[in-house]
Structure 1
């Protein structure tokens, strides 16, 4: 009897001990992880900052840097350029459905403008291929020297409200010898014509550039060309970001040009006179063009009052 009483008391003691431990565990509770940060106010599906930045960057990519955009793709059929006699250069623009685009909106008298330039910004050409019924563009084309060339297609599909500029590299085989970019200058010569540039580029803002043409010291009035008095293409040195602008009025060669960033640019002005189209080229920077003063106008000594050998 005494033995059973002892066992019963022992069992009751264990119940009390384990019950106390369980109660302590409930009181302390397990370690909880911090709650996740709430989504942006009013938007349970707000994108992460990196996603927003990437989207914004894509939306502001300058023209010509991409081979594809908004479902459209520039696809060369010809894979190399000729450095001898002109050979057919063929390409297609594929639409979002993967099929060649066959309908375009005419801009400045042409359905598509093709720009060809070497990667060092030499050998510029602005030409206009013809379109076949199957959506293949073609033009006889040759370049002067070997190298890697950038081919830009500037066009507007008929079912799109805005134009596109797509670019792709196409090589010309041979001994490639890059040329240094000419220094910035206010004037340039082409086929006996003198072309003068007034105004400076401004990064991220519209800048007024005015060009004047003269021959033998007399002003020249350019003839209408592709629905304008002239055409200006700007390419950024390094990556060849593309800008194609037209005059602000029909009577002058004044352009409102907005380049995407600070840096060095090559400007190409197409103008027509006596029935022939010519291209005047300039190097320009967003910091302005500094033309050295002639020797007679330079001071005889430095600003510190001392001459130096």
Structure 2
């Protein structure tokens, strides 16, 4: 990790173009907790990082078989385009993040299929994969989505829209666009591999690992004060949601748990299991959202797919918490 070195957010945006930028922050629901940002008096305006179909491409290592598909690498796919109307914000200042999904004719999409209790899931992640937010914006009648956000640290971010149009035969899509937060900027390193994470007094332990091009089992066990949590609450129709992002290009992998509440076989904790396939070998950041006693929290892990150190060893304490209900909750 580099310390004491500040560069402008303009440089950060340039670095993001090459997949090496870093941007961190603390959000309103659940996010990674970081130190408070520097004052606004030294902020510098930054142009947005470039967006487009060719900006981020999947990397297929030599000698590997067919790779699992990854989302979020393109701003347009399947005849739909993510139109991010807020390509830059000022770090430490509240802003209204606005966007529209457009079809092949350029018209805004106004009808979506509800999945996991929502029409659209919005993920905002920093380029260093330290900051993470799972948001649910509101849609206006004209198809414009919006939600308040505040990114307290400058740098490059990626915005992911996960949705399924209501049009017959339409498939689930994850479109991605770049977002720049202007201000004084200090790069951060990807957190070390970890098998445990702490968030708001809870400890989550990860077993299993990601496998490139092959389905693998991931088990996450939630405890509090050394005792297993056996009364997890349903959140978006499940006992847990897991998002995986690949370090470098931020390829997006949204996986779902095995089983669901009320199916007669899935227990409400302490374990939540997932089946996931990594699109390639490499480092990934896993974000688990779970709900207990009315509060949604996030536990984060760094793992390596195709590495003997999968799920490896240190403790990750970089995750905050957020409320699943109430006026201050914008993330779920």
Instruction: Give the TM bin, normalised by the shorter chain.
Output: 0.7 to 0.9
Aligned residues: 234
Partner of 1:257: 276
Partner of 1:44: none
SS in 1 for 2:88: coil
Unaligned runs of 5+ in 1: 1-58, 293-309
Counterpart of 1:248 (choices 258, 271, 275) is: 258
Alpha-carbon shift at residue 189 of structure 1 (Å): 0.7
Change in Cα spacing, 1:125 to 1:143, as seen in structure 2 (3 Å) is: same
Q: Report the TM-score, using the length of structure 1 for normalisation.
A: 0.73
SS in 2 for 1:264: strand
Partner of 1:291: 313
1:200 and 2:209 matched:
yes
Alpha-carbon shift at residue 81 of structure 1 (Å): 2.7
Q: In structure 2, how many angstroms separate the alpha carbons of the residues matched to 1:185 and 1:219? A: 20
Deviating above 3 A after TM superposition, structure 1's stretches of 4 or more consecutive aligned residues are 289-292
Q: In structure 1, how many angstroms separate the alpha carbons of the residues matched to 2:251 and 2:286? A: 12
1:282 and 2:292 matched:
no
- The answer to whether the 8 A contact 2:87-2:178 is kept is no
Q: Report the TM-score, using the length of structure 2 for normalisation.
A: 0.68
Counterpart of 1:213 (choices 222, 231, 238) is: 222
Alpha-carbon shift at residue 161 of structure 1 (Å): 3.3
- The answer to whether the 8 A contact 1:151-1:167 is kept is yes
Q: In structure 2, how many angstroms separate the alpha carbons of the residues matched to 1:227 and 1:199? A: 24
Q: Give CA-to-partner distance per residue, 1:222-254, whole Å, 9 cap, x none.
A: 210001101000000000000111110123410
Alpha-carbon shift at residue 71 of structure 1 (Å): 1.4
SS in 2 for 1:186: strand
Alpha-carbon shift at residue 60 of structure 1 (Å): 6.9
1:181 and 2:190 matched:
yes
Q: Select the structure of larger CA radius of gyration.
A: 1
Higher RCO (CA 8 Å, separation ≥ 6 residues): 2
Considering fraction of residues, name the structure with more helix.
1
Alpha-carbon shift at residue 80 of structure 1 (Å): 1.5
Q: In structure 1, how many angstroms separate the alpha carbons of the residues matched to 2:289 and 2:275? A: 16
Q: In structure 1, how many angstroms separate the alpha carbons of the residues matched to 2:287 and 2:250? A: 13
User: Considering only aligned residues, what root-mean-square deviation do their CA atoms show, in Å?
Assistant: 1.5
SS in 1 for 2:171: coil
